[in-house]
Amino acid sequence: MNVYDSQRIVDVLAPHGYAPTDTVDDADLVVVNTCHIREKAAEKVYSELGRLRQLSGRRESEGKPRLSLAVAGCVAQAEGEAMARRAPFLDVVVGPQGYHRLPELLARRTRASGCVVETSFPTDSKFDHLPTAASPAGVSAFLTVQEGCDRFCTFCVVPYTRGAEDSRPVAAVIAEAKELVANGVRELTLLGQNVNAYHGVGPDGRSWSLARLLAALAEIDGVWRLRYTTSHPADMADDLIRAHRELPQLMPFLHLPVQAGSDRVLEAMNRRGSADDYRRLVDRLRRARPDLALSSDFIVGFPGESDADFEATLALVRDVGFAQAFSFKYSRRPGTPAAVLRGQVAEAVKAERLDRLQALLSDQQQSFNAAFVGQQVEVLVDRPGRKPGQVAGRTAHLQAVHFDGPATLVGGRAVVKVLAAERHSLRATRPAADRVALGAVA
Using CB under 6 A, list all residues that contact ligand 5AD. Answer: 37-38, 155-156, 257, 259, 297, 299, 328, 330-331, 333
Phi, psi of 166 (to 5 degrees): -140, 125
Helix (H, G, I), strand (E, B) or coil at 35: coil
Burial classification of residue 320, based on how many CB atoms lie within 10 Å of its CB (0-12 exposed, 13-18 middle, 19 or more buried)? buried
The listed partner (ligand SF4, ligand 5AD, none) that binds 152, CB under 5 to 8 Å by sort, is ligand SF4
DSSP states along 269-318:
TT--S-HHHHHHHHHHHHHHSTT-EEEEEEEES-TT--HHHHHHHHHHHH
Distance of alpha carbon 321 from the chain centroid: 22
Q: Which CB, 151 or 279, lies closer to ligand 5AD?
A: 151
Using alpha carbons, select from 3, 93, 41, 114 the residue that is nearest to residue 331: 41
Task: Closer to ligand SF4 by CB, 255 or 394: give it.
Answer: 255
CB of 151 to ligand SF4, least distance (A): 4
331 binds, among ligand SF4, ligand 5AD, none (CB under 5 to 8 A by kind): ligand 5AD
Query: From the CB of 329, what's the least distance to ligand 5AD, in Å?
Result: 7
Is the CB of 5 or the CB of 176 nearer to ligand 5AD?
5
Q: Does 326 bind ligand SF4 (CB under 6 A)?
A: no
Which residue has the CB atom at the shortest distance from ligand 5AD? 297
As measured in angstroms, the least distance from the Cβ of 315 to ligand SF4 is 22
Residue 12 near residue 102 (C-beta atoms within 8 A): yes
Q: Which residues pair with 143 in a beta bridge?
A: 190
If one asks whether residue 156 binds ligand SF4 (CB under 6 A), the answer comes out as yes
Q: Which amino acid is at 224?
A: W
* Dist. CA 370–CA 390, nearest whole Å: 21
Which residue among 86, 131, 152, 175 contacts ligand SF4 (CB under 6 A)?
Answer: 152
**Residue of 7, 193, 249, 331 that binds ligand SF4 (CB under 6 A):** 193
101 vs 353 by CB, closer to ligand 5AD: 353
Contact positions toward ligand SF4, by CB under 6 A?
149, 151-153, 156, 158-159, 193-194, 232
